[in-house]
Amino acid sequence: MAKVAPVDPEIILADHGLLQAFDEATRRRLAAQAIPRRVEGGKVIFQRGDAGDSMIAVARGQVKISTYSPDGKELVLNIIRTGEVFGEIGLLDGEPRTADAAALVTCDLLVLKRETFLSHLEANPEVTRRLLGILCQRLRRTSAHLEDSLFLEAPARLARALSHLVGAFGIPARAGVCIDVKLSQQQLGAIVGITRESVNKHLGAWQKAGWIAIRNGYITVLDADALAALAGREPEA
């Protein structure tokens, strides 16, 4: 197995979408106080109800944010990628976590404690604006997710989810765009609120139609226009 390079907190924070808004001296202080944490794929990072005492930056990897019904049915709310943060709600209000977070792959994280981070916000209004922007974006996504669940049939919901994943994780492939996050059919179903069997049915049909290809668990979108038409939206860039 290839050796993974250690994470340098100062370099990560300097290149992080939210945290790069801090000046260099502040980033250096945050880096000195950040707690590195490596989490293996499939392991829980925190659970709903845990203390909301920190915000977490993803230095490397992908994190799944989800919630569960009383009977154990999962709904995936978001997938956080390298260069993004999560846990920001608990960081701001100090209340317990509102959802679960788990590593989809082995992740390197930087844990920023609430008291450490908040002490720098008042002197850095640009960071506050960016953090509010992240919260608004997450709220809009949740609202759109709810609308899709209420008003769209399963094929359109799945097509929208794939289009969104292309926009967030797409990398150019020889014949299309590969979604560079490995999700099982069960996990895809949890994103859109349908069964694994339904996901299998629609993905199989789209493979036969030449819209997608699946290899080693990764989906490549070959016909983004067809998926966008089914989803009722323009293809995502």
Query: Residue 212's pLDDT is what?
Result: 97
Residue with tokens 């994280």: 109
Q: Is residue 2 part of a domain?
A: no
Query: Residue 2's pLDDT is what?
Result: 46
Task: Report how far apart, in Å, the C-alpha atoms of 178 and of each of 109, 126, 231 are.
Answer: 25, 34, 18
Alpha-carbon gap, residue 72 to 52, rounded angstroms: 23
- Block means of pLDDT (10 residues each) for the chain, 237 residues, are 64 74 83 92 96 91 93 90 87 89 95 86 81 84 77 90 92 93 94 94 97 95 94 61
Q: Is residue 55 part of a domain?
A: yes
Maximum alpha-carbon separation in the chain: 56
Helices 114-121 and 24-33, axial angle in degrees (round to 10): 170
Query: Residue 1's pLDDT is what?
Result: 42
Range of the domain at 25: 9-149
**Rg from Cα positions in the chain:** 19
Residue with tokens 């919260």: 135
**Counted domains in the chain:** 2
Structure-token pair, residue 206: 């789209």
Shared domain check, 212 and 164 = yes
Quick one: CA dihedral 103, 119, 130, 231, positive or negative? positive
Task: Report how far apart, in Å, the C-alpha atoms of 128 and of each of 65, 121, 153 are.
Answer: 23, 6, 38
Shared domain check, 166 and 74 = no
Secondary structure percentages of the chain, helix, strand, coil, to 5: 45, 25, 30
Query: Residue 5's pLDDT is what?
Result: 61
Structure-token pair, residue 170: 């797409």
Shared domain check, 112 and 27 = yes
CATH of the domain at 51: 2.60.120.10
**What is the number of other CB atoms lying within 10 angstroms of the CB of residue 138?**
16
Which residues have a Cβ under 8 Å from the Cβ of 84 and sit 6 or more positions away?
A: 17, 18, 57, 58
The residues with which 60 forms a beta bridge, in sequence order, are 108
Structure-token pair, residue 233: 């939206």
CATH of the domain at 163: 1.10.10.10
Shared domain check, 35 and 111 = yes
Alpha-carbon gap, residue 235 to 227, rounded angstroms: 8
Element (H, E) at 44: strand 44-46
pTM beyond 0.85:
no
Taking a C-beta distance cutoff of 8 angstroms, is the pair 223, 182 a contact? no
Q: Is residue 64 part of a domain?
A: yes
Give the torsion through C-alpha atoms of 70, 76, 81, 85, to 10 deg: -50
Q: Is residue 162 part of a domain?
A: yes
